[in-house]
Amino acid sequence: MSEEHVILVDEHGSAVGTQEKMQAHRDGALHLAFSVLLYRDGVAGREYLLQQRAMGKYHSGGLWTNTCCSHPRQNETFAQAGIRRLAEEMGITGVTALTDIGDFIYRADLDNDLVEHELDHVLVADAADIAVVPNPDEVMAYRWWPEADLQHTMTAEPALFTAWFPQVLVMVLAAR
Protein backbone atom coordinates (compact mmCIF):
# COMPACT_ATOMS: atom_id res chain seq x y z
CA MET A 1 0.00 0.00 0.00
CA SER A 2 1.39 3.40 -0.93
CA GLU A 3 1.89 6.18 1.58
CA GLU A 4 -0.95 8.62 1.99
CA HIS A 5 -0.05 12.27 1.51
CA VAL A 6 -1.83 15.48 2.47
CA ILE A 7 -1.80 18.76 0.58
CA LEU A 8 0.04 21.45 2.52
CA VAL A 9 -1.39 24.97 2.24
CA ASP A 10 -0.78 28.49 3.47
CA GLU A 11 -3.36 30.42 5.52
CA HIS A 12 -5.09 31.50 2.28
CA GLY A 13 -5.56 27.93 1.06
CA SER A 14 -2.88 28.03 -1.63
CA ALA A 15 -1.08 24.72 -2.05
CA VAL A 16 2.59 24.83 -1.03
CA GLY A 17 3.45 21.13 -1.34
CA THR A 18 2.58 17.70 0.00
CA GLN A 19 3.70 15.66 2.98
CA GLU A 20 3.21 12.11 4.20
CA LYS A 21 0.02 12.17 6.30
CA MET A 22 1.37 10.93 9.64
CA GLN A 23 4.43 13.18 9.42
CA ALA A 24 2.19 16.18 8.75
CA HIS A 25 0.23 15.30 11.90
CA ARG A 26 3.42 14.92 13.95
CA ASP A 27 4.76 18.25 12.65
CA GLY A 28 1.46 20.12 12.93
CA ALA A 29 1.75 21.24 9.29
CA LEU A 30 -1.24 23.17 7.91
CA HIS A 31 -2.99 20.98 5.34
CA LEU A 32 -6.30 20.60 3.52
CA ALA A 33 -9.11 18.58 5.05
CA PHE A 34 -12.86 18.23 4.81
CA SER A 35 -15.70 17.36 7.15
CA VAL A 36 -18.99 15.95 5.84
CA LEU A 37 -22.17 16.33 7.88
CA LEU A 38 -25.30 14.67 6.56
CA TYR A 39 -28.71 15.71 7.84
CA ARG A 40 -32.37 14.86 7.51
CA ASP A 41 -35.55 16.59 8.57
CA GLY A 42 -37.90 14.46 10.63
CA VAL A 43 -40.99 14.85 12.76
CA ALA A 44 -38.88 16.10 15.69
CA GLY A 45 -36.89 18.52 13.50
CA ARG A 46 -33.43 18.36 11.97
CA GLU A 47 -31.18 15.41 12.78
CA TYR A 48 -27.47 14.99 12.00
CA LEU A 49 -25.69 11.73 11.23
CA LEU A 50 -22.70 11.46 13.57
CA GLN A 51 -20.16 8.70 13.94
CA GLN A 52 -18.17 7.57 16.94
CA ARG A 53 -14.61 7.06 15.75
CA ALA A 54 -13.20 3.54 16.13
CA MET A 55 -10.83 3.09 19.06
CA GLY A 56 -8.07 2.02 16.66
CA LYS A 57 -8.03 5.31 14.72
CA TYR A 58 -4.68 7.12 14.76
CA HIS A 59 -6.21 9.86 16.93
CA SER A 60 -9.47 10.80 18.66
CA GLY A 61 -10.64 7.19 18.98
CA GLY A 62 -14.01 6.82 20.72
CA LEU A 63 -15.04 10.45 20.16
CA TRP A 64 -18.20 11.56 18.36
CA THR A 65 -17.82 13.61 15.22
CA ASN A 66 -19.39 14.54 11.88
CA THR A 67 -20.51 11.87 9.42
CA CYS A 68 -17.01 11.48 7.96
CA CYS A 69 -13.84 13.46 7.42
CA SER A 70 -10.48 13.12 5.75
CA HIS A 71 -8.10 14.79 3.33
CA PRO A 72 -8.58 15.35 -0.40
CA ARG A 73 -6.10 13.74 -2.75
CA GLN A 74 -4.28 15.70 -5.40
CA ASN A 75 -6.59 16.53 -8.34
CA GLU A 76 -9.67 15.53 -6.31
CA THR A 77 -12.40 18.07 -5.53
CA PHE A 78 -13.71 18.34 -1.99
CA ALA A 79 -17.05 16.91 -3.13
CA GLN A 80 -15.36 13.94 -4.83
CA ALA A 81 -13.27 13.32 -1.70
CA GLY A 82 -16.32 13.57 0.56
CA ILE A 83 -18.32 11.10 -1.52
CA ARG A 84 -15.31 8.72 -1.56
CA ARG A 85 -14.96 8.87 2.24
CA LEU A 86 -18.70 8.45 2.86
CA ALA A 87 -18.37 5.09 1.11
CA GLU A 88 -15.06 4.13 2.76
CA GLU A 89 -15.99 5.09 6.34
CA MET A 90 -19.76 4.79 6.51
CA GLY A 91 -20.65 2.49 3.60
CA ILE A 92 -22.91 5.25 2.27
CA THR A 93 -23.25 5.21 -1.50
CA GLY A 94 -26.57 7.03 -1.94
CA VAL A 95 -25.18 10.57 -1.70
CA THR A 96 -24.19 11.94 -5.12
CA ALA A 97 -23.70 15.65 -4.34
CA LEU A 98 -22.30 17.63 -1.42
CA THR A 99 -22.49 21.39 -0.85
CA ASP A 100 -19.35 23.17 0.39
CA ILE A 101 -20.62 25.76 2.89
CA GLY A 102 -17.22 27.23 3.77
CA ASP A 103 -14.00 26.52 5.58
CA PHE A 104 -12.10 27.32 8.75
CA ILE A 105 -8.59 26.83 10.10
CA TYR A 106 -8.01 25.16 13.44
CA ARG A 107 -5.09 23.70 15.35
CA ALA A 108 -5.51 21.11 18.10
CA ASP A 109 -3.04 19.05 20.09
CA LEU A 110 -4.41 15.51 20.13
CA ASP A 111 -3.66 12.14 21.66
CA ASN A 112 -0.72 10.04 20.43
CA ASP A 113 1.45 13.20 20.24
CA LEU A 114 -0.32 14.29 17.06
CA VAL A 115 -1.49 17.74 15.99
CA GLU A 116 -4.38 18.57 13.71
CA HIS A 117 -3.70 21.82 11.87
CA GLU A 118 -6.17 21.95 9.06
CA LEU A 119 -7.94 24.21 6.63
CA ASP A 120 -11.19 22.27 6.89
CA HIS A 121 -13.91 22.55 4.23
CA VAL A 122 -17.39 21.76 5.56
CA LEU A 123 -19.60 19.74 3.20
CA VAL A 124 -23.29 19.01 3.75
CA ALA A 125 -26.14 17.11 2.13
CA ASP A 126 -29.73 16.19 2.89
CA ALA A 127 -29.64 12.42 3.20
CA ALA A 128 -33.04 11.29 4.39
CA ASP A 129 -33.10 7.90 2.68
CA ILE A 130 -29.66 6.29 2.87
CA ALA A 131 -28.28 2.97 4.01
CA VAL A 132 -25.45 3.12 6.54
CA VAL A 133 -23.01 0.19 6.70
CA PRO A 134 -20.02 1.52 8.66
CA ASN A 135 -16.49 0.18 8.28
CA PRO A 136 -15.57 -1.19 11.75
CA ASP A 137 -11.94 -0.10 11.27
CA GLU A 138 -13.19 3.49 11.03
CA VAL A 139 -16.43 3.66 13.04
CA MET A 140 -17.51 2.02 16.30
CA ALA A 141 -21.04 3.47 16.36
CA TYR A 142 -23.28 5.96 14.59
CA ARG A 143 -26.57 7.71 15.23
CA TRP A 144 -28.96 10.30 13.90
CA TRP A 145 -28.69 13.00 16.55
CA PRO A 146 -31.57 15.52 16.96
CA GLU A 147 -30.25 19.09 16.75
CA ALA A 148 -31.45 20.25 20.19
CA ASP A 149 -30.14 17.09 21.90
CA LEU A 150 -26.81 17.42 20.11
CA GLN A 151 -26.37 21.06 21.12
CA HIS A 152 -27.26 20.21 24.74
CA THR A 153 -24.83 17.27 24.88
CA MET A 154 -22.03 19.32 23.33
CA THR A 155 -22.49 21.97 26.00
CA ALA A 156 -22.84 19.51 28.88
CA GLU A 157 -20.15 17.03 27.80
CA PRO A 158 -17.78 18.62 25.25
CA ALA A 159 -15.11 15.96 25.87
CA LEU A 160 -17.31 13.43 24.02
CA PHE A 161 -16.61 15.19 20.68
CA THR A 162 -13.62 15.68 18.40
CA ALA A 163 -11.69 18.96 18.51
CA TRP A 164 -12.98 20.12 15.12
CA PHE A 165 -16.63 19.13 15.40
CA PRO A 166 -17.91 22.15 17.38
CA GLN A 167 -16.75 24.52 14.62
CA VAL A 168 -18.23 22.23 11.94
CA LEU A 169 -21.59 22.35 13.67
CA VAL A 170 -21.44 26.15 14.13
CA MET A 171 -20.90 26.54 10.39
CA VAL A 172 -23.70 24.12 9.51
CA LEU A 173 -26.17 25.86 11.82
CA ALA A 174 -25.19 29.29 10.46
CA ALA A 175 -25.73 28.10 6.87
CA ARG A 176 -29.30 26.87 7.49
Binding residue ranges for Mn(2+):
25, 31, 71, 116, 118
First to last CA, the chain: 40
- How far are the Cα atoms of 17, 31, 51, 75, 94 from residue 168, in angstroms, in the given order? 25, 17, 14, 24, 22
Which of 131, 132, 123 has the alpha carbon at shortest distance from 72?
123
Binding residue ranges for Mg(2+):
89
> Bridge-partner residues for 41, per DSSP?
46
Binding residue ranges:
25, 31, 71, 89, 116, 118
Active-site residue, from 4, 20, 68, 69: 69
| 69 catalytic residue (yes or no) | yes
Task: Please give the DSSP secondary-structure letter assigned to residue 139.
Answer: E
3-state DSSP assignment of residue 175:
helix
Task: Please give the DSSP secondary-structure letter assigned to residue 161.
Answer: B
Residues acting as catalytic residues: 69, 118
